[in-house]
Structure 1
Amino acid sequence: MIYTIIKKNSYQDSINLMLLTNAISATEGVNKAQIMMGTPSNKDIFRGAGLYTEELEAAQPNDMAIVVDTEDEKLIDEILVKVDEYLQNQATTSAGDEYETVRTWDKAIKAMPDATVALISVPGTYAAEEAEKALDLGLHPFIFSDNVSIEDEVRLKRKAHEKGLLVMGPDCGTGILDGIPMAFANVVKKGKIGIVGASGTGIQEVSAIIDRLGEGVSHAIGTGGRDLKSSIGAITMMDGIRALEAHRQTEVICIISKPPAKEVRDEVVELLQAVSKPVVAIFLGEKPTQYEGNVYQAYTLEETALIAVDLAKGNEVKPDYNTGLYEVDHIELKPEQNAIKGLYSGGTLASEAAVLISDALGLGTEIKNEDGYVLKTGHQVVVDLGDDKYTQGKPHPMIDPGTRANFIEEAAKDEHTAVILLDFVLGYGSHDDMADALLPSIKKAVSYAEEQGRKLYVIASVCGTENDPQDFQGQRKKLAEAGVIIKDSNNQAVRTALAIVGLKINDVEKVHVDAAKQEKEYNFEVSKEMEALVNNKPSVINVGLKSFTDSITAFGGRAVQFDWRPIAGGNEKMRKILNLLNNYRR
Structure 2
Amino acid sequence: MSITAVIKKNTYFDSVSLMSISTKANTLDGVDQAFVAMGTEMNKGVLNNLGLLTAEIEAATNGDLMIVLVTHEDNDTEQVLTEVEALLVHKKPAGGAHTVTHRTVAAAAADNPDANLAVIAVNGAYAGREARKALENNLHVMLFSDNVPVEEEIALKRYAHDHGLLMMGPDCGTAIINNVALCFGNAVRPGSVGVVAASGTGAQEVSVRVHALGAGISQLIGTGGRDLSEQVGGIMMIDGIRALAADPATDVIVLVSKPPAPAVEKKVLAEIATAGKPVVVYFVGGSRDAVVEAGGHFAAGSQDAALQAVRLGVDPHADVEPLDSERVDEVVSRLAPHQQFVRGLFCGGTLCDESMYSLLEISDNVWSNIQKSPERRLTADSPSTGHTFLDFGDDDFTNGRPHPMIDPSLRLARLVEEAKDPQVAVIVMDFVLGFGAHEDPVGVTLPAIAQAQRIAAQDGRHLEIVGYVLGTDLDTPALDGQVAALAAAGVTVTRSSTETGAFAREIARKVQTA
Same-fold call, TM cutoff 0.5? yes
Where does 1:8-19 land on structure 2 (aligned, <5 Å)?
Answer: 8-19=9-20
1:152 corresponds in structure 2 to 152
Whether 2:348 is the aligned partner of 1:346: answer yes
Q: Which moved more, 1:49-58 or 1:355-364?
A: 355-364
2:326 & 2:364 partners in 1: Cα distance?
Answer: 20
Deviations 1:509-564 (A, max 9, x none): xxxxxxxxxxxxxxxxxxxxxxxxxxxxxxxxxxxxxxxxxxxxxxxxxxxxxxxx
Give unmatched runs, 5+ long, in structure 2.
none
Q: Write the mapping of 1:444-463 to structure 2, written as runs, cut at 5 A.
A: 444-463=451-470
Q: Which runs of 5+ in 1 are unaligned?
A: 505-586
What's the counterpart of residue 262 of structure 2?
A: 262
CA distance in structure 1 between the aligned counterparts of 2:115 and 2:141, rounded to whole angstroms: 11
Shift of 1:322: 9.1
Q: Which residue does 1:546 correspond to in 2?
A: none
* Cα displacement (A) at 1:13: 2.9
The secondary structure found in structure 2 opposite 1:192 is: strand
Per-residue displacement from partner, 1:283-321 (whole Å, max 9, x unpaired)?
111253684574111110000000001011352799xx8
Residues 335-381 of structure 1 show CA distances to partners (whole Å, capped at 9, x for unaligned) of: 111111110000111111111111132689983584568x9995101
The answer as to 2:324 corresponding to 1:325 is yes
The 3 A distance-change label for structure 1 pair 314 and 209 is closer
- Name the CA shift for 1:81/1:99 in 2 (closer, same or farther; >3 Å): closer
Q: In the alignment, which residue of structure 1 is the partner of 2:508?
A: 501
The answer to whether the aligner puts 1:168 opposite 2:173 as a matched pair is: no
Q: Which residue is 1:355 aligned to?
A: 357
Q: 1:436 aligns with which of 421, 426, 443?
A: 443
1:315 maps to amino acid: P
Percent of pairs with identical residues: 40
Aligned pairs (5 A) from 1:368-383? 368=373, 370-371=377-378, 378-383=385-390
* Aligned 8 A contact 1:372 1:383 in 2: no
C-alpha contact (below 8 Å) 1:190/1:216 kept by paired residues: yes
Q: Within 5 A, what are the aligned runs for 1:112-261?
A: 112-261=112-261
**Residue 6 (structure 2) pairs with residue 5 (structure 1):** yes
**Normalized against structure 2, the TM-score is what?**
0.90
CA distance in 2, matches of 1:399, 1:34: 14
- Partner-residue secondary structure (3-state), 2:413: helix
**Do the aligned residues in 1 keep the contact of 2:269 with 2:294 (CA within 8 Å)?**
no
Alpha-carbon distance in structure 2 between the residues aligned to 1:499 and 1:484: 17
The whole-number CA distance in structure 2 between the counterparts of 1:259 and 1:162 is: 27
Shift of 1:87: 2.6
What are the equivalent positions in structure 2 for 1:502-541 lying under 5 Å apart? Answer: 502-503=509-510
Q: Does 1:384 align with 2:406?
A: no
Q: Aligned partners of 2:15 and 2:365: how far apart in 1?
A: 40
> Match for 2:313: what amino acid?
A
Mark the CA change 1:73 to 1:441 in structure 2 (over 3 Å): closer, same or farther. Answer: closer
Counterpart for residue 536 of structure 1: none
Aligned pair in 2 of structure 1 residues 317, 27: CA closer, same or farther (>3 Å)?
closer
Letter in 1 for 2:336: K
Cα shift at 1:23: 4.4
Task: State the secondary structure of the residue aligned to 1:171.
Answer: coil
Distance 2:299 2:112 in 1: 41
2: CA distance between counterparts of 1:95 and 1:314?
A: 42
| Per-residue deviation, residues 131-154 of structure 1 (Å, max 9, x unmatched) | 111111111111111111111111
Bigger mean CA offset, 302-311 vs 46-55? 46-55
Q: Is the 8 A contact 2:19 2:403 kept in 1?
A: no
- 1:44 aligned partner: 45
Q: How far apart are the structure 1 equivalents of 2:307 and 2:509?
A: 27
Deviations 1:47-103 (A, max 9, x none): 122111112233333332223345748722212321332233x33449954554322
1:476 equivalent in alignment to 2:490: no
Q: Secondary structure at 1:62's aligned position in 2?
A: coil
Q: Distance in 1 between matches of 2:94 and 2:318?
A: 49
Alpha-carbon distance between aligned partners in 1 of 2:200 and 2:6, rounded to the nearest angstrom: 36
Q: Tell me which amino acid in the other structure corresponds to 2:165.
A: L
Check conservation: 1:327, 1:496, Cα contact below 8 A: no
Partner SS state of residue 153, structure 1: helix
Local SS of the residue matching 1:187: coil
Q: Check whether the contact 2:192–2:251 (CA below 8 A) recurs between aligned residues.
A: yes
Q: Please give the alpha-carbon distance, in whole angstroms, between the structure 2 residues aligned to 1:418 and 1:189.
A: 38
In the TM superposition, residue 157 of structure 1 has moved relative to its aligned partner by 0.9
Task: Flag the structure with more relative contact order, 1 or 2, with Cα contacts below 8 A and sequence separation at least 6.
Answer: 1
Kindly tell me: are residues 161 and 53 of structure 1, through their superposed partners in 2, closer, same or farther at Cα, counting changes over 3 Å? same
CA shift for structure 1 position 35: 2.5
Please state how far the C-alpha of 1:4 moved relative to its aligned partner. Answer: 2.4
Q: Residue 336 of structure 1 is aligned with which of 335, 338, 346?
A: 338
SS at match of 1:343: strand
The CA deviation at 1:388 is 1.2
For 1:322 and 1:476, locate their aligned partners in 2 and report how far apart those are by CA, in whole Å. 17
- Structure 2 residue 374 is the aligned partner of structure 1 residue 398: no
Change (3 A) 1:254 1:127: same
Specify whether residues 446 and 204 from structure 1 end up closer, same or farther in structure 2 by C-alpha distance, changes over 3 A only. Answer: same
On the 8 A contact 1:376/1:382 being kept in 2, the answer is no
Which residue in the other structure is 1:367 paired with? 372
Q: Is the 8 A contact 2:23 2:406 kept in 1?
A: no
TM-score, normalised with respect to structure 1: 0.80
Deviations 1:183-209 (A, max 9, x none): 110011111111001141101000001
Choose 1 or 2 for highest CA Rg. 1
Q: Shift of the alpha carbon at 1:424? A: 0.9
Corresponding residue pairs, total: 500
Contact 1:201 1:346 (C-alpha < 8 Å) held by counterparts: yes
Aligned partners of 2:416, 2:75: CA distance in 1, in Å?
Answer: 33
1:274 is displaced (CA, Å) by 2.5
